[in-house]
Amino acid sequence: MADTRTAVVTGGASGIGAATARALRDNGWRVVVFDLPDALASAGRQPGLAHVGVDVTDDAGVRAAFDGLRADNVRVVVNCAGIAPSARVLGRSGGHSAGLMRKIVEINLIGTFNVLVAAAEVMAANEPDGDGGRGVVVNTASIAAFDGQIGQLGYAASKAGVAGMTLPAARDLASRGIRVCAIAPGLIDTPLLAGFTDEVRARLAADVPFPHRLGRPEEFAGLVLAIVDNPYLNGETIRMDGALRMPAR
């Protein structure tokens, strides 16, 4: 598969992950979707995409999945797997659960770390391009990393960790020709927001300075493609939020 360019998208069964997988496929990439087996079964097989059941919190499982792609010229990895439960430090039923905090951090931050490390190990063996580049990893942070709202303690902390690892990871991997960037999306119209009423969705959209609407998963995917195509983008966390700065609630 020497002429094949492979991209891996975690959390690629739905939302921004699915949109990113389709966009990469439509731009000539061979795309491998990593997601939980149940999520893959619920989403169904998407044409032109390969699917592998992977739990990003399972370090050994992530490494095994990437080991299976060593001959496939993996050049792009996009980390979209994540969860966003809400809980306050002190709620009606008591203090924030340490177990929930661990789960959020394990999936959003440690899961991203597991994929980053395993991807770098595989990419480091790639033949370099004209700039000496061997690949790029795009992680998903959130504007909550900077503007965390009430009830977002765990989510904001985990996404701040993703943003915080971006520059040191890029510096660590510079000698290997591997770039690392992150996208911090704002209010994106994903299944997470689909459960809200039209009134709530309209209110959320109205808070966005411009354009006055929710972001689209395809816009996230478009930014991924821009990062992939621009070899001078490295070590940066890019907000994609229509100039929104989240209020406390």
Residue 173 makes CB contacts below 8 A (sequence gap 6+) with 120, 179, 180
Q: Per the residue annotation, which of 29, 113, 155, 220 is the catalytic one?
A: 155
Phi (first) and psi of residue 163, to 5 degrees? -65, -40
Q: Can you tell me the distance from the alpha carbon of 166 to that of 142, in angstroms, rounded to the nearest whole number?
A: 13
Q: Can you tell me the distance from the alpha carbon of 144 to that of 239, in angstroms, rounded to the nearest whole number?
A: 10
* Cβ–Cβ < 8 Å for 71, 1: yes
DSSP strand pairing (90-91 vs 94-95): antiparallel
155 is catalytic: yes
Question: DSSP assignment, residue 176?
Answer: G
Catalytic site positions? 155
